[in-house]
Amino acid sequence: MNKIAQTLLWTSNVLTFGAVRKVYERAFYEGAKQTRLNRDFNIQNNHFELQASADRDMLRARARWLSANNPICKSIDNSIIKNVVGNGISLQSRINKNEVKNAEDFNNKIETLWNEFIKKQNFDVTGRASFRKFQKMLVKAKLVDGESLINCIWTKDKKFPLKFQLIEVDQLDISKKRNNDNTIFSGVEIDSFGKPIAYHLKTEVNSFSSKRFDAKNIIHFYDAERVTQYRGISEYAQTINNLKDFQAYNDSEIIKNRVLASFATFIKTSNVGGNIFGDKKLAEKSGSSDPIKEITAGMIKYLRPGEEVATVQSNQLGNSYNDFIKNTIRIISAGRDISYELAIRDYSQVNFSSARASLIQDNKRFDDEQILLVEDALNPMFEMFVDSVVLSGALQVPNDYWSNKEKYIKAVWIMPTREWVDPLKDIKSIESEIKLGLNSRTRAAAGKGRNFEDIIEEQINEEKLIAEKRKKAGLEPVLVEE
């Protein structure tokens, strides 16, 4: 509630002897009631960017610090990246043979060109990141910064003119507010319908000047939660305070136990005789003038006359440290939408059923990340790649390519393998599902990060190789059971 509204409310209460306050406190929903106990919980509705943009940079800075210094953050982020990206999300071109003549040849040619293109010297304009590393950096930036930008650059490379460049969002110019009739929210220019049409990027991170980039050349990777959201928010947002409290408490516990474990000796000096001048000189000589700031192991300290060592005794009952750590990590895990076991790698309190239940929920979270990565980043990148090799002449296509591109751009993304809790039990379960018609071999193979057609081809090639080797050795062919 702003100051004007507070002043009006106070004035009306004085004039009506508190009647307005009583009406104001009544609400149909209890959660909307305003009382003395929740008077600091007065939130206003507004455009998302007008509400959140002021906090975005601070959240990102704190999240980066925690990512670099907090082991729990490191563990959670690495677990998500390993399960989402793993050894890399790979491409298979699946042009329909009923729609395009010589579809299989096109698929092989596209995959061959793609596998050559994703090498770091062809893929990244800086020549530093391969496609797999690019994926990891994208996911990492989304987790910590909340978003990332991909600049699509056209170069003079004859075979692969298209290159990609990963840009951190610090280069977005948040000072600009308008461009002609268009509004700019934190560096993102939108039209009257709310569609991003351009991005204003600083020429250098600390530069005051910026350049306008057309939205068709920028891929903005983030996950929006509201219609009026045009920038991402760090996934640490809900857990930043918990993470900082956890680290502060953990540091305090370590310091306390280091002090308790240190053995130190303090020598107290008694009063000495003589005149007052002699007393002062002797006191200065016998005791140390430096104040005690810390206790170290094996320390011997001479105290000045009248000084004593007093320790602050902790009133902490029992071993609450372990409980605090577990409860805090559970809160942090809930805020990051992953299981406690995955966050801390502690499986001491789980059995097969509970571990499998947690893994199922974690996999749904990873699936959501993979779908977002494919839809918002990988698919647009692949489409631009196909356009680039067509323009360069590396891929010869029929004349209807530009009018019917959807026929030629058929990407199937193969996700990394996920391990099972108990492989034997899971395999038996999938086998039963296939027999009952509740699952297919294609989906089962995809769940292991494989393509069923590739598996069949590999098995056929293996059988041919075995038959050939046995024939050369003069052995009878092996009969394969159906």
3-state secondary structure 249-288: HHHHHHHHHHHHHCCEEEECCCCCCCCHHHHHHHHHHHCC
Q: What is the pTM of this model?
A: 0.77
Taking only the tens place, the pLDDT of each residue in 48-89 is 998 888 899 999 999 999 999 888 899 999 999 999 999 899
pLDDT-based confidence at residue 33 (cuts at 50, 70, 90): confident
Structure tokens at 331: 């809160």
pLDDT interval class at 6 (50, 70, 90): low
| pLDDT band of 122, cuts 50, 70, 90 | very high
Q: Are the C-beta atoms of 87 and 132 separated by less than 8 Å?
A: yes
The predicted model gives 13-21 an average pLDDT of 57
Residue 206 Rama label (left phi>0; alpha psi -120 to 50; beta): alpha
Residue 354 has pLDDT above 90, yes or no: no
User: How does strand 178-179 pair with strand 162-167?
Assistant: unpaired
Band of the pLDDT at 109, cuts 50, 70, 90?
Answer: very high
- Give the C-alpha separation, 205 to 203, whole Å: 7
Residue 221 backbone zone (phi > 0: left; psi -120 to 50: alpha; other: beta): beta
pLDDT attached to residue 40 = 75
Facing residues of 39 across strands? Answer: none
The mean-pLDDT minimum among 202-211, 294-303, 371-380, 437-446 falls in 294-303
Distance CA 188, CA 199 (A): 5
Token pair, residue 41, equals 């919980």
* CA geometry: angle 310, 314, 316, nearest 5 deg: 170
Model confidence at 217, in pLDDT bands (50, 70, 90)? very high
Average pLDDT over residues 266-291: 55
Per-residue model confidence (pLDDT) at position 377: 97
